[in-house]
A and B are shown apart, each in its own frame.
Chain A
Amino acid sequence: MKVITTKGVVKIYNPDKIPVKALNGVDLEISEGEFTAIVGPSGSGKTTLLNIIGGLDRPDEGDVEVGGHDIDAMSDNKLIDFRKEHIGFVFQAYNLIPVLTARENVEFVMLLQNRPKEERHGRAEELLRAVGLEDKMDKRPSELSGGQQQRVAVARALAPKPDFILADEPTANLDSKSTANLLDLMAQLNKEEKVTFIFSTHDQRVIDRARRVVTLVDGKVATDEVRESE
């Protein structure tokens, strides 16, 4: 089943001053259960594409359908709710709420969804155990390493069982060991919980682990390669 479909997506920054065509007609379909890397040189439009798929930004031309919804038709506040219900985000940095503990961060989106307390607690513990942080549940982000923080972010993104998870260079600030750990975790969750992952990266080791690699060049899909699982 298709979760994401983009047709002829164009995004132009600074249309009035010096226009930058960040995306220049992107056609892409992503199905349930994929583990897909978006790669390409710096400035090729990876972040822009993820933002548009995630409803954080709007295209200037083209259609974006997410889980059967035309997200361009939604108001800003509607989009916030849509993201809350359907999409998990892992950013490069600034993922976590500094004043909340790891457990509270993981529960946060479920809380916004008004899920009952027992469900939140159970899910948060289960996920923090799954990402190997059962002993850090009550630590605040500042007491965790960069890799641990990113693992909490993945747990947070997974907690409300979103349709898919968007991760923009989730390993960019991590050393190679943390990178490997995070990828193991994502791959395992993808396999066991059938979570759809879409992530952008520059890192060859990360690209090697992807099952589908979409390469962007100058805001267009240059190659789209599906591999057999590792």
Chain B
Amino acid sequence: MILIMAWRNIWRSMTRSLVVMGAIAVGIWAALSLTGFATGMVKSYVNNAVQNIVSHIQVHQPEFLDENEVKYNIPDAEAVEQAIRAEPGVKAVSVRSVVNGMISSSKGARGVSIKGVIPEEEARVNALDENIVEGDYLSGEGRNPILVSSELAKKLNVKVRSKVVLNFQDRGGSITAAAFRIVGIFDTDNNPFDLSHVFVRRNDLNSLLIPAADSSLAVEGLAHEIALMVDDIRQVNLIAASLSSKFPNLKVQTYREISPDLELYEGQIKNISLIYLTVIMLALVFGIINTMLMAVLERIKELGMLMAIGMNKLRVFLMIVLESALLGLVAMPVGLLLGYITIEYVGANGIDMSMYAKGLESFGMSSIIYFELDPIVYLQVAVGVFLTAILASIYPALKAIRLKPVEALRTI
């Protein structure tokens, strides 16, 4: 009966109740959408970084990571590659040789990391082939082709078909220089990465890295980095652990270890949703307190009468709390549905932020954000709003039970 009374009471001031319910629904919608936006942004950053740059897992010789010198190549790289390909859950593997050097044109020079890749393999691990904005991706044809980014091309004042010179130390320690011809220009959304990386064919690079006098290593055998993608990103840690145990002398790192900022961002998603939720709940608390206080004050006589005829304080208290909880419960599905529709729609179609945030790309994010939301957030928001409604009703409910029936009945 208390429930029935509470339910009917909230419809007594229909407009007022609808306004609070509207506010609650909009609050829920905003909390969900903002969290969806933040999640989408972080995921876009992480996905870009994983797809264009770090891949899921990388394998190196441990010293290579510290010293970054050509001589720290992966021993017996072909066998390692075969074993990784055989690992269940591994989708694609690219074996690279890497050397730090200098790229120069007639207009300037810059330090870069030169990555020697097998074009078809690299394309399966990395979106490099899709990121070509001018010219073509690496192929088997032509002599010494190279890919540079549009940022770097601007700095060096070169374009497709221009010639550049790469300088670096070979495995014997002597400085080598070779001319390469730009066949394509790429652009990931990450400017710092773009400026510092160029891609060539692995065999071209390896033949320059292995001095003529060195017969210990075939051209196909030199590799410093094995990058791989897995089928299911949630399996990353498992697969990395399994590889680690198979190659105790190599360093196996997941994208989170390679780029700790990615892990940091991923971890922030939870905090972001909590912050939004808290801010919105605070705003709702005041709206609900105000409404419930009005509902109590305009019913003083009636509440006095209820206590006079025997409704005890606990029941009066419960009735007021229930009224507030019901306001929240009615508004909740509306807000959740609005939020869900927004998340799903923007999740599928994306929202173009380039008008508002020109600089997004320099941080390595796409300018089109696809909303995304962990389903648990719906539950968090629902529980949060429900608790808010109950908390906000406590003060008005206390006011109600402090009334003295005689005085309440006498007030006009």
Q: Are A99 and B5 in contact (CB under 8 A)?
A: yes
Total A-B Cβ pairs within 8 A:
62
Give the residue name and chain of the B residue nearest to A92 (CB). B409
B405 interface residue per 8 A CB criterion: yes
**Which of B308, B309, B406 makes the CB contact (< 8 A) with A108?**
B309
Tell whether A108 pairs with B1 under 8 Å between CB atoms, given A56-B308, A80-B310.
Answer: yes
Q: Are B409 and A91 in contact (CB under 8 A)?
A: yes
Using an 8 Å CB-CB cutoff, how does the interface string of B391-403 with A read, 1 for contact, 0 for none? 0000000000000
A81 to B307, CA, bound (A): 9
Q: Are B309 and A109 in contact (CB under 8 A)?
A: yes
Sort chain A's interface into a size bin: 20 to 34
Q: Are B406 and A56 in contact (CB under 8 A)?
A: yes
Give the residue name and chain of the A residue nearest to B10 (CB). A99
A69 to B293, CA, bound (A): 37
Give the residue name and chain of the B residue nearest to A88 (CB). B309
A99 to B301, CA, bound (A): 14
Give the residue name and chain of the B residue nearest to A168 (CB). B409
CB of B334, distance to nearest CB on chain A (Å):
23
Which of chain B's residues have a CB closer than 8 A to the CB of A113? 310
CB of B370, distance to nearest CB on chain A (Å):
47
B133 interface residue per 8 A CB criterion: no
Give the residue name and chain of the B residue nearest to A105 (CB). B309
Q: Are B310 and A91 in contact (CB under 8 A)?
A: no
A181 interface residue per 8 A CB criterion: no
A154 to B308, CA, bound (A): 15
**Which of B8, B305, B311, B315 makes the CB contact (< 8 A) with A91?**
B305
B312 interface residue per 8 A CB criterion: yes
Give the residue name and chain of the A residue nearest to B315 (CB). A112
Tell whether A104 pairs with B406 under 8 Å between CB atoms, given A81-B312, A98-B12.
Answer: no
Tell whether A94 pairs with B1 under 8 Å between CB atoms, given A80-B311, A89-B308.
Answer: no
B306 interface residue per 8 A CB criterion: yes
8 A Cβ contacts from B1-40 to A = 1, 4-5, 8-9, 12
A100 interface residue per 8 A CB criterion: yes
8 A Cβ contacts from B312-326 to A = 312-313, 315
**Which of A76, A85, A97, A111 makes the CB contact (< 8 A) with B306?**
A97
Give the residue name and chain of the A residue nearest to B316 (CB). A80
CB of B298, distance to nearest CB on chain A (Å):
12
Q: Are A94 and B302 in contact (CB under 8 A)?
A: yes
Using an 8 Å CB-CB cutoff, how does the interface string of A41-59 with B read, 1 for contact, 0 for none? 0000000000100101100
Which of chain A's residues have a CB closer than 8 A to the CB of B4? 100, 104
CB of B312, distance to nearest CB on chain A (Å):
5
CB of B248, distance to nearest CB on chain A (Å):
73
Q: Are B1 and A111 in contact (CB under 8 A)?
A: yes
**Which of B5, B9, B310 makes the CB contact (< 8 A) with A84?**
B310
8 A Cβ contacts from A103-132 to B = 104, 108-109, 111-113
Which of chain B's residues have a CB closer than 8 A to the CB of A94? 301-302, 305, 409
A53 to B306, CA, bound (A): 18
8 A Cβ contacts from A208-224 to B = none
A161 interface residue per 8 A CB criterion: no
A194 interface residue per 8 A CB criterion: no
A136 interface residue per 8 A CB criterion: no
A95 interface residue per 8 A CB criterion: yes
A95 to B308, CA, bound (A): 10
Q: Which of A84, A111, A113 has the most chain B CB atoms inside 10 A of its CB?
A: A84
Q: Are B305 and A100 in contact (CB under 8 A)?
A: no
A77 interface residue per 8 A CB criterion: yes
Tell whether A112 pairs with B311 under 8 Å between CB atoms, given A98-B12, A99-B9, A99-B12.
Answer: yes
A113 to B311, CA, bound (A): 10
Which of chain A's residues have a CB closer than 8 A to the CB of B405? 56
Q: Are A83 and B309 in contact (CB under 8 A)?
A: yes
Give the residue name and chain of the A residue nearest to B405 (CB). A56
Give the residue name and chain of the A residue nearest to B313 (CB). A77
A68 to B302, CA, bound (A): 30
Which of chain A's residues have a CB closer than 8 A to the CB of B9? 99
A84 to B305, CA, bound (A): 12
Q: Are A112 and B12 in contact (CB under 8 A)?
A: no
Q: Are B310 and A81 in contact (CB under 8 A)?
A: yes
Which of chain B's residues have a CB closer than 8 A to the CB of A109? 309-310
A95 to B406, CA, bound (A): 13
Which of chain A's residues have a CB closer than 8 A to the CB of B305? 91, 94-95, 97
CB of B13, distance to nearest CB on chain A (Å):
12
Which of chain B's residues have a CB closer than 8 A to the CB of A156? 309
Which of chain B's residues have a CB closer than 8 A to the CB of A104? 1, 4
Which of chain B's residues have a CB closer than 8 A to the CB of A83? 308-310
Give the residue name and chain of the B residue nearest to A95 (CB). B305
A57 to B8, CA, bound (A): 31
Which of chain B's residues have a CB closer than 8 A to the CB of A84? 309-312
CB of B390, distance to nearest CB on chain A (Å):
21
Using an 8 Å CB-CB cutoff, how does the interface string of A24-56 with B read, 1 for contact, 0 for none? 000000000000000000000000000100101
A121 to B301, CA, bound (A): 27
Interface residues of chain B, those whose CB is within 8 Å of chain A, are 1, 4-5, 8-9, 12, 301-302, 305-313, 315, 405-406, 409
| In the complex, the 8 A-B pairs of residues with the closest C-beta atoms, listed nearest first | A84-B310, A99-B8, A80-B312, A94-B301, A56-B406, A57-B406, A111-B1, A83-B310
Interface residues of chain A, those whose CB is within 8 Å of chain B, are 51, 54, 56-57, 76-77, 80-81, 83-85, 89, 91, 94-95, 97-100, 104, 108-109, 111-113, 156-157
- 11 A-B residue pairs with CB within 8 Å: A54-B308, A57-B406, A81-B312, A83-B310, A84-B309, A84-B310, A94-B409, A95-B305, A97-B306, A109-B310, A113-B310
